[in-house]
């Protein structure tokens, strides 16, 4: 079952504009991660934000996490045509009792198109 839900499902912007994608989830998490997938290929890890962090930056990427609202956002600034891809949020939740491994659960993704 999907834990994270991205919004919007699809986004089309002009090169140079900023792109914002949102992710909502339902249960408590250890961390939230964002991944990018180019058409039909493997996923590339972008950024990991822990549950006790509120904001994280990596190059042109900015991720925020609001655990009270169970939501996260990914901002890509000054977008480029090469940013065209699907973006997924994934939540890492531990098993009941806190011991053992964590499962990474992915949302259905936001399809971003950056028009040159």
- Which CB atom, from 2 or from 18, has the smaller least distance to another protein? 2
Strand-pair partners of 105: 91
Q: Is 48 in the site for another protein (CB under 8 A)?
A: yes
- Residue 23 CB, shortest distance to another protein, in Å, is 13
Q: Is 21 in the site for another protein (CB under 8 A)?
A: no
Q: Is 109 in the site for another protein (CB under 8 A)?
A: yes
Beta strand residue intervals within the chain, DSSP E: 5-7, 10-14, 19-24, 31-37, 43-50, 55-58, 61-66, 71-76, 85-93, 103-106, 110-115
Give the whole-angstrom CA distance, residue 39 versus residue 48: 22
- Which CB atom, from 14 or from 52, has the smaller least distance to another protein? 52
* Contact residue for another protein among 33, 73, 79, 84 (CB under 8 A): 33
DSSP-based three-state secondary structure for 58: strand
Q: Is 43 in the site for another protein (CB under 8 A)?
A: yes
- Least Cα distance to 61 among 34, 98, 43, 94 occurs for 34
**Token pair for 1:** 């079952």
- Residue 108 CB, shortest distance to another protein, in Å, is 4
| Contact residues for another protein, defined by CB under 8 A | 1-2, 30-31, 33, 35, 40-45, 48, 88, 92-95, 100-109
């Amino acid at each position: 079952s999907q834990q994270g839900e991205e919004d919007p499902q699809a986004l089309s912007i002009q090169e140079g504009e900023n792109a914002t994608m949102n992710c909502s989830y339902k249960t408590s998490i250890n961390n939230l991660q964002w991944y990018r997938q180019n058409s039909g290929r493997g996923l590339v890890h972008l950024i990991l934000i822990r549950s006790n962090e509120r904001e994280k930056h990596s190059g042109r990427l900015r991720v925020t996490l609001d655990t009270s609202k169970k939501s996260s956002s990914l901002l890509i600034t000054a977008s480029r045509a090469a940013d065209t891809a699907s973006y997924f949020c994934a939540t890492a939740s531990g098993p009941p009792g806190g011991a053992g491994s964590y499962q990474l659960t992915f949302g259905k993704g936001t399809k971003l198109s950056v028009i040159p």
